[in-house]
């Protein structure tokens, strides 16, 4: 009789539960809206919302997508770049809550940044004054920025100006500027890509990962 233990089977999706819960919430929100037949604009963050101080849409727009393809693209992006961030925050209740808040704050910062850039572009005649923003890509970009710091620190929070972060930052800016200039709209059902939100959300995650990690109680993981 062999004393060798049978190999342990690995889970099909090896991702932290707070991250999987976030993706499930995005899927359920889109399924619910589709079932109701509600238009995305009903939950979007718009120029009118900004003018009238309707701040709730800063967060509701994150859970609204133009199509299932749009949702799938963002879900894959979130799964890829959210896993390291969620693991850093921890799988306990405190870490999960901080991770979810971090996601929403990055998304809100991306939306406000988009609004600021859109206002300047409208004054210069380079874009419309009336706009509506939907989708989690700004928040997902924040997870990407945070993961850049973790890659720089090899699992800990590395410096903002390291080589890995610099390369990732330049690549992300170039990709999004190309999307903005060419008008390509992959997975958005023809809606313009919010490249401004992508870039500004990225910087929000890049900067805020340190303070949010401290809120999650992982001070020892910060490297300078």
171, two tokens? 């690549």
Segment 122-144 shows an average pLDDT of 94
Q: What is the CA radius of gyration of the chain?
A: 19
Beta-bridge partner residues of 46: 132
pLDDT in tens, 58-90: 999 999 999 999 999 999 999 999 999 999 999
> Tens digits of per-residue pLDDT, 140-169?
999 999 999 999 999 999 999 899 999 999
- The beta strand positions in the chain, using DSSP E, are 45-46, 132-133
The pLDDT, as a whole number, for residue 9 is 42
Q: Is the pLDDT of residue 54 over 60?
A: yes
C-alpha 55/C-alpha 85 separation (Å) is 26
**For the CA atoms of 57, 206, 68, 133, what is the dihedral angle to 10 degrees?**
30
pLDDT bracket for residue 179 (50, 70, 90): confident
Lowest mean pLDDT among 29-43, 176-190, 200-214: 176-190
């Amino acid at each position: 009789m062999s004393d060798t233990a049978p190999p342990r089977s690995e889970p099909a999706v090896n991702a932290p539960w707070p991250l999987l819960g976030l993706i499930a919430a995005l899927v359920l929100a889109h399924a619910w809206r589709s079932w109701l037949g509600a238009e995305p604009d009903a939950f979007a963050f718009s120029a009118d919302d900004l003018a009238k101080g309707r701040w709730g849409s800063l967060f509701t727009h994150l859970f609204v997508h133009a199509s299932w393809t749009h949702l799938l693209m963002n879900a894959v992006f979130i799964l890829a770049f959210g896993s390291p961030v969620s693991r850093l925050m921890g799988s306990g209740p405190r870490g999960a809550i901080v991770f979810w808040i971090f996601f929403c704050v990055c998304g809100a910062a991306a939306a406000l940044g988009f609004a600021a850039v859109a206002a300047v572009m409208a004054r210069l005649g380079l874009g419309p004054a009336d706009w509506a923003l939907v989708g989690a890509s700004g928040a997902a970009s924040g997870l990407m920025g945070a993961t850049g710091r973790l890659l720089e620190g090899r699992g800990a929070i590395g410096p903002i100006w390291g080589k890995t972060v610099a390369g990732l930052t330049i690549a992300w800016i170039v990709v999004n500027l190309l999307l903005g200039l060419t008008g390509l709209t992959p997975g958005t059902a023809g809606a313009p890509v919010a490249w401004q939100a992508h870039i500004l959300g990225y910087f929000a995650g890049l900067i805020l990962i340190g303070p949010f990690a401290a809120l999650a109680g992982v001070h020892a993981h910060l490297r300078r």
